[in-house]
Amino acid sequence: QHFSRVCADKEFFPIMANKARRTLYLIVAVNIFVYMNQDDLMRWFQMFSVDDGSIVSMFASMFYHADMMHLIFNMIGLVIFGEKVFVNTKSSVWQSPYAMLLIYLGSGICGASGLVGLSHFFDAQWRGRMHKNRHAVTCSNWLCEKVGLNWMTHSAADIYTYLFHADEAIALMHFKFVRRIGASGAVYGVIGARLYTSSFSIWHCTMSNLEVLFLIGDISREFSMSSINLSSLVEGLFHGDGIDHTCHAIGLLSGVIISAAVQIVARRRSQNSCQNEQRQNQRIER
């Protein structure tokens, strides 16, 4: 591992760091530009909704913000953590603009796609509830089928389900059709990259105690307020703060996973660089 660190130090290129910094601030500039022209852009590119689920709306929503404070806090977080992940590193792979765009855009897309996947899970829970209530009033006698009794009892069971679980039905419909702003999901992907690189990358510095305390509190809040079933979906709709914490959590996890893939590429390139250097040294000695 010590030898790997020595070789990694030789991969540091100030030019690549400058490219990474320019890419980072380009993303910030694009977010600011989109916010300043957001009303006009929304006429052409609608905000993402689970029911829509199009890639274009997912991509557009990654640059939309609710208000000025939302934009400011997101950009501050993006710059602080982006600098530590993509600029202040000694790996040319991590300094690559492609790595930054992959994590930022990939986390944003994965955050929105994760919501689409969750909607199918919530649908399955709702169908299971309806099937359970139907099964409770199903008559297995042949005469019941003959006279259509089961059709009537199943209809009554469906009405009962919608009446006594109306809050879940409303929360599910809201989850599917509400328009979402997904910029924070992409920013949380960069935070996920910071978590991963701080723990597993030899080319990055570890987090300070202040960073650790902040992220523990923030991430714990995001996961505790995320919707994982119909009950938590209802809680989030009627007693939540209007923030899509589930998208934040999925974006964070996506950033960690994508960072693991980038780290594999960086490690292999470092190993190849070390092997080439060893061969050159051996040739010189000969």
- Taking only the tens place, the pLDDT of each residue in 155-205 is 899 999 999 999 999 999 999 999 888 789 999 999 999 999 999 998 899
**Distances from the Cα of 108 to the Cα of 16, 42, 64, 114, 229, angstroms:** 24, 18, 12, 10, 22
pLDDT of residue 79: 95
Report the pLDDT value the prediction gives residue 53, as an integer from 0 to 100. 76
CA distance 271 to 75: 35
Average pLDDT, the chain: 87
Cα separation, 205 vs 89, whole angstroms: 8
The number of beta carbons lying within 10 Å of the beta carbon of residue 64 is 23
Helix (H, G, I), strand (E, B) or coil at 105: helix
Choose the weakest-confidence range: 52-56, 206-210, 258-262. 52-56
Q: Rounded to the nearest 5°, which phi and psi values hold at 187?
A: -65, -40
Q: Which residue has the tokens 């960690």?
A: 256
- Residue 254, SS3? helix
The sign of the CA dihedral 74, 60, 39, 250 is negative
Q: How does residue 14 score in pLDDT terms, banded at 50, 70 and 90?
A: low
Residue 252: pLDDT over 60: yes
Stronger pLDDT, 65 or 4, i.e. the higher one: 65
Q: What is the mean pLDDT of residues 13-36?
A: 86
Predicted confidence band at 147 (pLDDT cuts at 50, 70, 90)? Answer: confident
Helix (H, G, I), strand (E, B) or coil at 180: strand
pLDDT in tens, 83-104: 999 999 888 899 999 999 999 9
> Which amino acid is residue 225, in one-letter code?
M
The number of C-alpha atoms within 13 Å of 163 and in the hemisphere containing its C-beta is 7
